[in-house]
Amino acid sequence: MRISEKNPRLARTRRHLRVRKKVSGTADRPRLGVFRSLRHISAQIIDDDKGQTLVSVSSLEKEIKEKGHMKKQACAEQVGTVLAQRALAKGLKLVVFDRGGYRYHGRVAALAEAARKAGLQF
């Protein structure tokens, strides 16, 4: 039996650590990290050198919730757009994308594409 069959959360954590060996955020180019649960999605822009979160957005925030009920993918697009707007307001344009051990597919891809459309480069 493989680890992913026993515990999918542990398998995702291992995939995430494998990605994190290569992907690191600096002050010049911080890391855009994504976390997705069954209902919600959140994203942070992180400077790993300082260990500081520079910008964060979640689907639980009032700004996104007040737009009404949305499907999960549409909600992920809203999170990506708001994240890019907040990052650009702080002067952050270049980021490194960290998919968090998830496939670049569905909600994760929707968030990334929306952030790109709104002006972030990665």
HEC assignment per residue over the chain = CCHHHHCHHHHHHHHHHHHHCCCCCCCCCCEEEEEECCCCEEEEEEECCCCEEEEEEECCCHHHHCCCCCCHHHHHHHHHHHHHHHHHHCCCCECEEECCCCCCCCHHHHHHHHHHHCCCEC
Q: Dump pLDDT digits (tens) for 99-108.
A: 999 999 999 9
Q: Dump pLDDT digits (tens) for 19-40.
A: 998 888 888 999 999 999 999 9
The reported pLDDT for the residue numbered 6 is: 79
Q: Which domains does the chain have, with CATH numbers?
A: 3-117 (3.30.420.100)
The reported pLDDT for the residue numbered 9 is: 87
List, for the chain, all residue ranges whose pLDDT scores fall below the cut of 70: 1-5
